[in-house]
Amino acid sequence: MRVDESDVNSPLEVTVASNIPNDCGVFVVSYAEHFITDVDLPDKYGINVERLRYSYLLYAHGKFKKENDYESEDESPGTMPEEVRISYLE
């Protein structure tokens, strides 16, 4: 569907698909990494290899922080206020 640039505030048509694979988180992260580093995705992309690689990277990062007494500050904005949370549910 093409959106007319003169009417950018009109709602988009949304189609909800069902029965499709939804295990794409690792692929999205991997694609973003390859895009940022300007490296092409390999022709034979192995999702299980990528899962293991990211698991190892997270483990190694945590181990490095623990061994070197590094502590990150919490950047979380905290719990969403109830009035905002309720407005999303309505």
pLDDT interval class at 1 (50, 70, 90) = very low
CA 52 to mean position of chain CA atoms? 17
pLDDT score recorded for residue 5: 58
Backbone angles phi, psi at 44, to 5 degrees: -105, 90
Q: Which of 63, 30, 22, 21 is nearest to 49 (CA)?
A: 30
**CB contact set of 7 (below 8 Å; sequence gap of 6+):** none
Q: Tell me the per-residue pLDDT of 21-76, one tens digit each, with 9 for 90 and over.
A: 766 888 888 889 989 999 888 888 888 898 999 999 999 998 998 899 888 787 77
Q: Domain coordinates of the chain in residue numbers?
A: 42-68
Please state, as a whole number, how many other Cβ atoms lie within 10 Å of the Cβ of residue 50. Answer: 15
